[in-house]
Amino acid sequence: MIDPRRLRILRAVADHRTVTAAASALYLTPSAVSQQLNTLEQETGHALLIRSGRGVRLTAAGEILLAHTHTVLAQLEQAEAELAAYAGGTSGDVTVAAFATGIAEVVAPAIGILAEGHPGIRIRVRDAEGDESLPLVLDGEADLAVAVEYRGAPGADDPRLARVPLHAEPFDAVLRAGHPLGVNDRIELAALADSDWIGPYPGNPCHDMVLLACELAGFQPRLVHSSDDFRAVVALAGAGAGVALVPRSALRGMELKGAVVRPVSGPATTRRVFAAVRRGAERHPLIGPVLSALSRSASDLAPAPA
């Protein structure tokens, strides 16, 4: 009989592509992971992994088993959820991994909502960029993620995750107050093609969104300054160091420090925010109310003025 614990290890190796990275995510030693995988191969009677460069990849048999792994683990999550509901489990901790603006705009208000209707549910917040929170959920380090769409993000049909859309928001152009284009009500992005740019580091989902917006406008931005802190980005723009695209909610209540904000004409660059849990866990009596509270707090988000 196949041990589900070994299936979790197989999925972690498939997600992280190396035994070492999977071991780190699961808080195991690489030798322990290798031993469990060897045992799983003996249980199934098939080779499941082969070396590929510095990492590993699944064999055809491994891919077959991985597809069933998603179903088995989702069923186990659902079984735990139903047992918890049967036991009346309405108090406990839920770890939420979210990016900074998501914490401020969605998670924090949701905590207030939960305090009124579900005082037994305690939220533990973990700050994680949009591309970091989903692996934390898949590795079991977080129960729920508030994340943004990004290139390579698991899709809505991913068998590992259940997703709930929360809200979408445009990016606005930020430039120094005396910039010639600052007098316009809206800015054509192509008009900023020759400017120096300020943006997040590669790996941050917003970095990809800025590049995509500029590509659609017909140019590649000259990124001179990099920061994942939007306050720093706005301060640099206000100092005349360059121009930037910033999600609208990140600008709410921010001191502009000599900068002006203008909406962008043409195809809108949009940040789409969603919540995600391990598939099958969405019905858990602790997880369900948190998802509802996040949806409610997100629905209360009024578009910030540009």
State the pLDDT at residue 270: 83
pTM for the model stands at: 0.75
One domain, residues 279 and 161: yes
State the pLDDT at residue 89: 65
For residues 254 and 246, give the distance between their C-alpha atoms in angstroms, rounded to a whole number: 12
One domain, residues 33 and 93: no
Look at residue 133 and tell me if it is in a domain.
Answer: yes
Mean pLDDT of 163-176: 93
Mean pLDDT of 263-275: 83
Mean pLDDT of the residues in the chain: 89
Mean pLDDT of 261-274: 84
Given 58, 83, 108, the domain boundary residue is 83
One domain, residues 163 and 284: yes
Look at residue 139 and tell me if it is in a domain.
Answer: yes
| 202 — pLDDT class (breaks 50, 70, 90) | confident
State the pLDDT at residue 86: 66
Q: What's the total number of domains in the chain?
A: 3
Look at residue 306 and tell me if it is in a domain.
Answer: no
One domain, residues 178 and 159: no
Look at residue 266 and tell me if it is in a domain.
Answer: yes
For residues 190 and 51, give the distance between their C-alpha atoms in angstroms, rounded to a whole number: 46
Look at residue 305 and tell me if it is in a domain.
Answer: no
Per residue in 94-135, pLDDT tens? 999 999 889 999 999 999 999 999 999 999 999 997 678 999
Look at residue 276 and tell me if it is in a domain.
Answer: yes
Residue closest to 275 by CA, chosen among 125, 152, 127, 107: 107
Checking if the pLDDT of 304 tops 50, the result is no
Determine the structural domain holding residue 245 and report its residue range: 168-270
Amino acid in position 32: A
One domain, residues 182 and 257: yes
Counting residues of the chain whose pLDDT is more than 90, the rounded percentage is 62
Mean pLDDT of 199-222: 89
Mean pLDDT of 13-28: 91
Given 83, 116, 150, the domain boundary residue is 83
Look at residue 229 and tell me if it is in a domain.
Answer: yes
User: 245 near 265, Cβ under 8 Å?
Assistant: no
CATH of residue 160: 3.40.190.10
Checking if the pLDDT of 138 tops 90, the result is yes
State the pLDDT at residue 7: 92
Look at residue 113 and tell me if it is in a domain.
Answer: yes
Per residue in 46-103, pLDDT tens? 999 998 888 899 999 999 999 999 989 888 888 888 787 667 767 889 999 999 889 9
One domain, residues 162 and 194: no
